[in-house]
Amino acid sequence: MPFSVTILGSSSAIPTPQRNTSAQVVSLDGTLYLIDCGEGTQIQMKKFSIRFQKISHIFISHLHGDHFYGLIGLISTYCLTGRTTGLHVHGPSSLQEILSLQLQLTGTEMTFPFFFHSIDPGLHKKIHEDDHMEVFTLPMVHRMPTCGFLLSEKPRPLNIRKDFLEKESLSYEDIRRIKKGEGFINREGIVYPNAQITYPPVRPSSYAYCTDTAYSESLVPLIRNVDVLYHEATFMKDSLPKAEERFHSTAEQAATIALKAGAGQLVLGHFSPRYKDLAPLLEEAKAVFPCTELAEDGKVIAVESTRDHT
Ligand SMILES: [Zn+2]
Ligand SMILES: [Zn+2]
């Protein structure tokens, strides 16, 4: 599975024996990104065999405790185990103050380069880019400044046809050029147009993490045609006044956003601990958007394009 999400926590506010607070790991071709880091996230990562030393970027949505209280513990473990590779944390500017104070007063000796990137939760903006992925902020509507994240895979290079690879002996440089779209001329002077010797790569996929938020249609154009949408569903629609008062969403509202955005698939999460049985939430959402599933701690979700190339 080249692009996937592992749910590490799907409970809102407080952990339960079955559900930890918010955190998830996005994996793309072996690169790991951590989104939110509720208390106990490192235990969840061990439980679900996540190689958490490989995480180089952490994105924090907002400063409610259920989304970041595990961060100092994770950083401490990195220090105690002698991590040497750099770590980038992206989050609201006050998080830097919190972490600095925690690290200073606990006398933590950093063993690795640490980079803090302050993000403006009110903006839709690219905040990270590497060889394979781009990450954008998504403004949420919550009781404090909060942003979701859109993780968008970059277009992959063209694939070279196998029969052509077997017929011609290509140098590394030839392969690089053909994959970028150039044609090829062999030693006998035979010209091969690029379209004849390549086939298109899989369409890039995208994943949106939207929590915590009240129902907000201004999100729709920012996540249009996203392949997998994780949207909070803290409450059911019979608790709509409570959802509105606390700036959270109902399962039906999450499904409405997925429908309006043309998402490929919806994953509900951030459930109120009041719900012991989540089947009614799933049913409520499916009535609006059938391709819905429930987040579950340890569940791995493939982020795949369900659409064709055109
Ligand atoms: Zn929360
Ligand atoms: Zn919150």
Q: What is the pTM of this model?
A: 0.92
Q: 212: cis peptide before it, omega within 30°? A: yes
Distance 122 CA to ligand 2 centre (A): 15
Ligand minimally distant from the alpha carbon of residue 67 = 1
- Contact assessment for residue 202 and residue 305, using Cβ atoms and an 8 Å cutoff: yes
Q: What angle do CA 235, 298, 129 make, to 5 degrees?
A: 90
Q: How does pLDDT run along the chain (310 residues), one tens digit per residue?
A: 689 999 999 999 999 999 999 999 999 998 999 999 999 999 999 999 999 999 999 999 999 999 999 999 999 999 999 999 999 999 999 999 999 999 999 999 999 999 999 999 999 999 999 999 999 999 999 999 999 999 999 988 899 999 999 999 899 999 999 999 999 999 899 999 999 999 998 889 999 999 999 999 999 999 999 999 999 999 999 999 999 999 999 999 999 999 999 999 999 999 999 999 999 999 999 999 999 999 999 999 999 886 554 3
Distance 21 CA to ligand 2 centre (A): 11
Residue keyed to tokens 């998080």: 95
- The SS3 call for residue 191 is strand
Question: What is the rounded distance in angstroms from the CA atom of residue 53 to the CA atom of residue 199?
Answer: 36
Near ion ligand 2, which residues have CB within 5 Å? 64, 212
Neighbour order of strands in the sheet with 228-232: 126-129, 133-139, 147-153, 206-210, 228-232, 265-269, 292-294
**Two tokens, residue 270:** 């951030």
Question: What is the rounded distance in angstroms from the CA atom of residue 209 to the CA atom of residue 201?
Answer: 25
> What integer pLDDT is reported at residue 203 of this predicted model?
87
In sequence order, the 6+-apart residues with CB closer than 8 A to the CB of 247 are 141, 142, 143, 212, 213, 214
> What integer pLDDT is reported at residue 310 of this predicted model?
37
113, amino acid identity: P
Is 66 catalytic? The answer is: yes
Distance 145 CA to ligand 1 centre (A): 12
Distance 44 CA to ligand 1 centre (A): 17
What kind and span of H or E run contains 166? Answer: helix 162-167
In sequence order, the 6+-apart residues with CB closer than 8 A to the CB of 41 are 8, 9, 20, 23, 34, 70, 73, 74
> What integer pLDDT is reported at residue 91 of this predicted model?
98
Q: What share of the chain is helix, strand, coil (3-state, %, to 5)?
A: 30, 30, 45
Active-site annotation holder among 66, 212, 227, 297: 66
> What integer pLDDT is reported at residue 202 of this predicted model?
85
Ligand minimally distant from the alpha carbon of residue 270 = 1
Ligand minimally distant from the alpha carbon of residue 234 = 1
> What CA–CA distances, in Å, run from 291 to 77, 121, 229, 256?
38, 29, 11, 12
Closest CA to 8 of 17, 21, 294: 21
Question: What is the rounded distance in angstroms from the CA atom of residue 198 to the CA atom of residue 164?
Answer: 9
- Contact assessment for residue 2 and residue 176, using Cβ atoms and an 8 Å cutoff: no
Ligand minimally distant from the alpha carbon of residue 232 = 1
Question: What is the rounded distance in angstroms from the CA atom of residue 221 to the CA atom of residue 175?
Answer: 38
Distance 148 CA to ligand 2 centre (A): 11
- Helix/strand number for the chain, H first, E second: 9, 18
What is the tens place of the pLDDT at every residue in 74-125? Answer: 999 999 999 999 999 999 999 999 999 999 999 999 999 999 999 999 999 9
> What integer pLDDT is reported at residue 309 of this predicted model?
41
Distance 140 CA to ligand 2 centre (A): 10
> What integer pLDDT is reported at residue 305 of this predicted model?
80
Question: What is the rounded distance in angstroms from the CA atom of residue 269 to the CA atom of residue 29?
Answer: 25
